[in-house]
Structure 1
């Protein structure tokens, strides 16, 4: 294990020396598996609910899931920011600041989770109406969203604890805890939805309980091994967050959260238009979403791993390695995009058949193939740029990407193709796929400017 220099008994990985490709893959792999598991149990949710409740159940979970994703992505923005800042502290060998930062980040996310839950529960009916939820699915979707929102504190908590571990370069432990959550989720789904017949409510409850268990275990694990992570946590620190640290978390977290939320909001805007084309189109949107998610997840895990590695190396002023890391991320993701495109091009029947046997839905799937391929390559394009933009912790560039990617181009192009050029639902999907290329060109400009060499902390 020469490439991972370990301090005695420490669980922190050092990414400032050693083989870049090997580190990137060994760090991204557990993250990818974690994401994959999340997809698998999301799919299990959809399959179990789809089989028991049919189209209506699928539509309810699709809409309720969109709202939950939006809330979760906001949390992920802050936890990604935290992960990068932790990586930069470690790269700069400032272990003394870690505990204070971890306490500050956890406190901030907890307060945030409470606010989101409050707003969500107050306005969930209005949100459902804005989403053009098909009337026959409204009641189911409402109860699904209500239960999910009540459990948001667990989602935020889990994001905080896994960001702490990943910032330290430890992606394996979060993977163990999420595996547990996935298994528990599927078991509870079978019990609640299939045996007890609780419908979409049961699916939401199963998700919340399993996330809660996984969060509590992971938090307990960090506390038990705090010395090995150079953390000297005390309960008092959680009640006294540090102002400067809170500000640097917000400066970086807000643009990341805006980027995530804006992308998600505009996706919801696109989906609400798409839903208005009827249940078959709405059902296919759910399927397309799941397919894109699988490549997205790969891209996210590789660029999150890349961002942590970039963060450590910028902290340690190893700029040559930063370049190597960014190009390694691109190479991996282009290979993934090529593979995914071949599969959807040659085996569309088999891919769509996993989710549905409805001919109307599959027909839309055939039209969608070129857009799917475009979306796969946009995923590859954004991966290396995101690793650099996020890893540098540069809040301005993050903000520019957020505004263009999330709002200007995504809504602009969707409206252009969908409404102005009247390409209907295909136009909305095309605009969405093209907007995905935004980070690629922002990242290129940022890379050539050399501004990424400045530390965020």
Structure 2
């Protein structure tokens, strides 16, 4: 395992070097999600495809607290690592893991109890409800596997290792595709098979990654030595985990509200929105990779007390993001229809989705800014920002969705305008928070 010390060296080179394995891993993760959707759409049908799409925001809402716990653990670990505190690093790995397990159990129970009432509240079409419920119950029942999948990856990245998680992400992706084909195409198990394939592949990858980490990574071995429950470390982890998890939960809650509005436009628009959402999730992985690099970069440098170096990293990441946004804008405007046709054969869905992705591509520069600054501020331990940012995003998305779709000459296109304008508002807010400099005083260790 090669650990990268991000407290020294050229920021641009370090961020690119660290983010490329994360990007490749994220892309593989999204590719298997895309393949999952394509297999369902092609071999089960449009209704099943739209049913899974109707659960996207809800499933991510429940997962958000688990993701927040993993991120919070990584932030604490990276700051101890940057401060060269070996005992603190090891103990924070152990206690962060305890925190992740507890939060996951709580979210699993909540998800299993509330999924059906929420889907009904969201006005999910009756034709989609059976498949949507089946998918959610299986996926949420296996949430512990998803959490076990995210947590060791977050810790390894906090230690400066972005390459090892890539190996297990690729393994998980390939395994998921094979299991999808086996369960859905061969065994004809429909959306249930797709859900089982995802949970099982992530569980296997998680177990293998944990075994590898304990065998090869000294900090994981030491974590077993310093495994005693430490309330102080758990509190530090929760200080980042809860606001970060709530931030993402609020973001997805606003997406659920948007999904309800989408549902009101019928199955074709639901299918188109599902298709563009999958592509947007794929695109977000590029900016998310930069953001993930910024978490480690910021955590290690703030632990080492190098605040000016963090600002240099932000500038470097923004330059990279601007170039990527311009390239993607051209791709979506030129090849929107061919890209959307990989999901379904319905020409009306394809046409709507192609126009939708062209609209959101105009705002990709804002999306890049959101991801970079959000992750950077999380890495600094600025948990107050994380929560407020979630509130801002909810207000923006709900306000834009309700108002824009109500305008006759905008109508359903307000759905995609809402996405882009929400990115813009949250990017401006994140920039103002960064410029204010409060994050400089949020060091956790």
1:205 lines up with 2:196 in the alignment = yes
For residue 422 of structure 2, the aligned residue among 428, 435, 452 is 435
Q: Which residue of 1 aligns with 2:223?
A: 233
Displacement of 1:36: 0.5
Greater displacement, 335-344 / 413-422: 413-422
For residue 418 of structure 1, the aligned residue among 387, 390, 405 is 405
**Quick one: distance in 2 between partners of 1:387 and 1:123?**
30
1:79 lines up with 2:66 in the alignment = no
For residue 385 of structure 2, the aligned residue among 397, 404, 407 is 397
**Quick one: distance in 2 between partners of 1:320 and 1:236?**
33
SS at match of 1:293: helix
TM-score, length-scaled by structure 1: 0.92
Unpaired segments ≥5 residues, structure 2? none
Displacement of 1:295: 1.7
Greater displacement, 395-404 / 255-264: 395-404
Displacement of 1:182: 0.9
Displacement of 1:131: 3.0
Q: Which residue of 1 aligns with 2:376?
A: 388
**Quick one: distance in 2 between partners of 1:452 and 1:357?**
49
Displacement of 1:446: 2.8
For residue 92 of structure 1, the aligned residue among 65, 76, 83 is 83
Displacement of 1:433: 1.8
Displacement of 1:11: 4.3
**Quick one: distance in 2 between partners of 1:288 and 1:61?**
14
Displacement of 1:128: 2.1
Q: Which residue of 2 aligns with 1:336?
A: 324
Q: Which residue of 1 aligns with 2:231?
A: 243
**Quick one: distance in 2 between partners of 1:259 and 1:123?**
20
SS at match of 1:170: coil
Q: How does 1:225-304 map to 2 (within 5 A)?
A: 225-227=216-218, 229=219, 231-234=221-224, 237=227, 240-304=228-292
SS at match of 2:223: coil
Displacement of 1:370: 4.3
Verify the 8 A CA contact 2:35 2:177 in the aligned structure 1: yes
**Quick one: distance in 2 between partners of 1:187 and 1:448?**
47
**Quick one: distance in 1 between partners of 2:352 and 2:234?**
47
For residue 66 of structure 1, the aligned residue among 46, 49, 57 is 57
Flag the 1:85–1:437 CA change in 2: closer, same or farther, 3 A.
farther
For residue 345 of structure 1, the aligned residue among 301, 310, 333 is 333
Displacement of 1:54: 1.2
Verify the 8 A CA contact 1:77 1:253 in the aligned structure 2: yes
Q: Deviations over 1:245-265 (max 9, x none)?
A: 111211211111111111111
**Quick one: distance in 2 between partners of 1:413 and 1:98?**
43
Greater displacement, 29-38 / 367-376: 367-376
SS at match of 2:109: helix
Q: Which residue of 2 aligns with 1:218?
A: 209
1:446 lines up with 2:433 in the alignment = yes
Greater displacement, 292-301 / 127-136: 127-136
Q: Deviations over 1:197-250 (max 9, x none)?
A: 0000000011111010011111111111242x374133882xx43111111211
Aligned length: 444
TM-score, length-scaled by structure 2: 0.95
Displacement of 1:385: 1.7
Flag the 1:231–1:197 CA change in 2: closer, same or farther, 3 A.
same
Displacement of 1:127: 2.3
**Quick one: distance in 2 between partners of 1:236 and 1:318?**
28
Greater displacement, 249-258 / 437-446: 437-446
Displacement of 1:299: 0.8
Verify the 8 A CA contact 1:386 1:439 in the aligned structure 2: no
Greater displacement, 339-348 / 356-365: 356-365
Verify the 8 A CA contact 1:304 1:387 in the aligned structure 2: yes
Q: Which residue of 1 aligns with 2:22?
A: 31
1:48 lines up with 2:39 in the alignment = yes
Displacement of 1:186: 0.8
Displacement of 1:301: 1.0
Verify the 8 A CA contact 1:385 1:439 in the aligned structure 2: no
**Quick one: distance in 2 between partners of 1:369 and 1:344?**
7
Q: Deviations over 1:403-448 (max 9, x none)?
A: 112x222212222222367833322331232111234223332333
Displacement of 1:366: 4.3
Q: How does 1:79-228 map to 2 (within 5 A)?
A: 79-227=70-218
